[in-house]
Amino acid sequence: MRHNEAMFVSRAVLVFALIVPVWADVTYSKEVSRIMQARCQQCHRAGDIAPFALSNYEDAKTYAEDIKRVVTDRIMPPWKPAAGFNSFRDSYALTDEQRTQILDWIAGGAQEGDPADLPEPLPVKETPWELGDPDLILAMPKYTPPVRPSDTYRCFVLPTDLDETRFVSAVQSAPGQKQIVHHVLIYVDETGDSEKLDGKDGQPGYTCFGGPNVRIGIGGLLGGWAPGARTRHLPEGIGLLLPKKSRLVLQVHYHPSGLTLEDQTQIGIWFKPKDSVNKRLVNIPILNDRFEIPPGAADHEVKAQQAVLPFLTGKAITVAPHMHLLGRKIKVELEKLNGQKEPMILIDNWDFNWQGFYTFEEPVTLPSFSTVRVTANYDNSENNPKNPNKPLKAVRWGEGTDDEMCIAFIGVVFDNENLIPFRRK
């Protein structure tokens, strides 16, 4: 064989080796089952929020084409913060490797592989409470949302009957009917105004959409829950204030399921030991309530900002952006005095259905004279399938489904607790 020919042959072998598809290797039993346990099954299991289970090979194979679409378009899993713009704890986003493996698996014909490679199935949970038994469990009255094709948003008033002010370490919602409870926001009502609205229409609670429809103090948002969220204790010495005798207002978003289901969602609260807290976590809303989104505007920008005052420096631990149905994108940044910007969160495919409280991997230090800036973009055109306004109209701030909001709640611990400009009872 002449030298050239040998070269040719070995190159051909090399090229052939390169085009042997990598997906030939990926099987359900080995890789995909493990990804589904880690990233899909907390929702895609019997009786939970997702419309079908992804518990075994048959399930995964049946939905392979849908999985391909939602994984390619990054619709599922519904973890919203954009990668590379700060990082968060408890993320259930797919890594690039996991995404590639799922797509390779489908491209390779969704092979089962050897069932001997399967992982142990996830344990069945005995109790809904993630951190052991809560110190206080509050249940909303039983309520059956109407069966209709649209969503139901309802607020329920839960008296705490606390004789003394306590600090909360963690809060969790345990949906009564996981198939229909889509998200829960928990507010603290110190005035009792929510009781005046309760039951007015003959049903427990009252209709509400973007908020509790009553005035709440700054820091009056206790927490929120959406499927897939994990509950954690606040760090030592830090708590959320729950004033004595206050009521919780639970805003529950029900998903239309076509089923008549009676729900009784519960809230579990874990307190900090008495006298162990010297810092409060306060959910500060950074908002703009004076905007108008013109009808037809496909990319209307609204900004909100809040300066960090010299005596009110601190650390941001969590962030929770909030818009309604026209929202498309929301970005929160910290701008330092020298103009340098630090990313806090970016959600570039906002979905009202998937709003969360995100905990920073590393708390964000808020120095004097820095500014937290929120930039939100809205699509008020006909091309937005979620636009509730037909015909189109100018949209402003409000609590209704057809109104909008521009808020980022940041959970802050201030350096100098004594200067917090809030009432302490």
Q: How far is CA 341 from the centre of its chain?
A: 24
Q: Is residue 67 involved in binding ligand HEC (CB under 6 A)?
A: yes
Q: How far is the CB of 389 from ligand HEC (least distance, A)?
A: 22
Identity of the residue, 61 or 336, whose beta carbon is nearer to ligand HEC in the bound complex? 61
Residue owning tokens 């509730």: 388
Read out DSSP for 351-394?
-TTS---EEEEEEEEE-TT-EEEEEEEE--STT-TT---SS---
Q: How far is the CB of 284 from ligand HEC (least distance, A)?
A: 27
Q: Cα(269)–Cα(272) distance, rounded to whole angstroms?
A: 10
Q: Is residue 81 involved in binding ligand HEC (CB under 6 A)?
A: no
Identity of the residue, 23 or 63, whose beta carbon is nearer to ligand HEC in the bound complex? 63
Identity of the residue, 69 or 196, whose beta carbon is nearer to ligand HEC in the bound complex? 69
Q: Is residue 51 involved in binding ligand HEC (CB under 6 A)?
A: yes
Q: How far is the CB of 42 from ligand HEC (least distance, A)?
A: 5
Identity of the residue, 256 or 343, whose beta carbon is nearer to ligand HEC in the bound complex? 256
Q: Is residue 235 involved in binding ligand HEC (CB under 6 A)?
A: no
Q: Is residue 50 involved in binding ligand HEC (CB under 6 A)?
A: yes
Q: Is residue 325 involved in binding ligand HEC (CB under 6 A)?
A: no
Identity of the residue, 72 or 276, whose beta carbon is nearer to ligand HEC in the bound complex? 72
Phi, psi for residue 238 in degrees, rounded to 5: -120, 135
Q: Is residue 353 involved in binding ligand HEC (CB under 6 A)?
A: yes
Q: Cα(309)–Cα(110) distance, rounded to whole angstroms?
A: 57
Q: How far is CA 322 from CA 171, 211, 288, in A?
A: 19, 10, 11
Cβ–Cβ under 8 Å, residues 250 and 184: yes
DSSP label of 80: -
Q: Is residue 247 involved in binding ligand HEC (CB under 6 A)?
A: no
Q: How far is the CB of 100 from ligand HEC (least distance, A)?
A: 13
123 to 182, contacts with ligand HEC by CB under 6 A? none
Q: Is residue 356 involved in binding ligand HEC (CB under 6 A)?
A: no
Q: Cα(341)–Cα(333) distance, rounded to whole angstroms?
A: 6
Q: How far is the CB of 92 from ligand HEC (least distance, A)?
A: 5
Read out DSSP for 31-68?
IIHHHHHHHTTTTSSTTSSSSS---SHHHHHHTHHHHH
Identity of the residue, 50 or 157, whose beta carbon is nearer to ligand HEC in the bound complex? 50
Q: How far is the CB of 173 from ligand HEC (least distance, A)?
A: 14
Q: Is residue 227 involved in binding ligand HEC (CB under 6 A)?
A: yes
Give the interface segment with ligand HEC, choosing from 48-56, 145-153, 375-383, 413-421 (CB under 6 A).
Answer: 48-56
How, if at all, do strands 181-189 and 152-159 pair? unpaired
Q: Which of 70, 122, 307, 309 binds ligand HEC (CB under 6 A)?
A: 70
4 to 43, contacts with ligand HEC by CB under 6 A? 39-40, 42-43
CA angle 128, 134, 139 (to 5 degrees): 70
Furthest CA-CA distance within the chain: 95
Q: Is residue 78 involved in binding ligand HEC (CB under 6 A)?
A: yes
How, if at all, do strands 136-139 and 371-378 pair? unpaired
Q: How far is the CB of 143 from ligand HEC (least distance, A)?
A: 20
Q: Is residue 63 involved in binding ligand HEC (CB under 6 A)?
A: yes
Q: Which of 26, 32, 53, 76 binds ligand HEC (CB under 6 A)?
A: 76
AA identity, residue 65: E
Helix axes 64-72, 96-107, angle to 10 degrees: 140
Q: Cα(334)–Cα(341) distance, rounded to whole angstroms?
A: 6
Q: Cα(347)–Cα(349) distance, rounded to whole angstroms?
A: 6
Residue owning tokens 């009432």: 423
Which residues of this protein are in contact with ligand HEC, per CB under 6 A?
39-40, 42-44, 49-51, 63, 66-67, 70-71, 76-78, 92, 94, 227-228, 353
